[in-house]
Amino acid sequence: MEYSINKGVNRPLEFKGIRAQYLIYMVIGLLALLFLFVMLYLIGITLYLILPVVGGLATLLLSLVSKYSKKYGANGLAKQAGYKALPKALKTRTLKEMLNA
């Protein structure tokens, strides 16, 4: 009996260079662009104007998401947000200073 080895265990999800949560950002962005396309079409704007606008925004979305995916990695964007929440410095005081304050 032969068993195949699952080599992808504990590795972040990746699709064409876009990793982990950035895939979710890409899907949400594309759904928003689809909604924008439908709304502009229902308003009555011509397709010759809608397609370049939505296509340009889709290109911008893809480039930004792939840039952040390459720059920060799978968990790096959350780490960056955590680093920004840290205080710049810690101040230590003696018990005497705390009682007098």
Domain boundaries, the chain: 14-100
- Specify the pTM: 0.65
Could you report how far apart the first and last alpha carbons of the chain are, in Å? 75
The predicted structure's pLDDT at residue 68: 82
The predicted structure's pLDDT at residue 52: 95
Per-residue pLDDT of the chain (101 residues; tens, 9 = 90+): 777 777 767 776 777 777 778 888 889 999 999 999 999 999 999 999 999 999 999 999 999 888 888 887 777 777 778 888 888 888 888 888 888 86
Q: Extract the tokens encoding 93.
A: 């005081």
Which positions ≥6 away from 61 have C-beta within 8 Å? 26, 29, 30, 33
The predicted structure's pLDDT at residue 98: 81
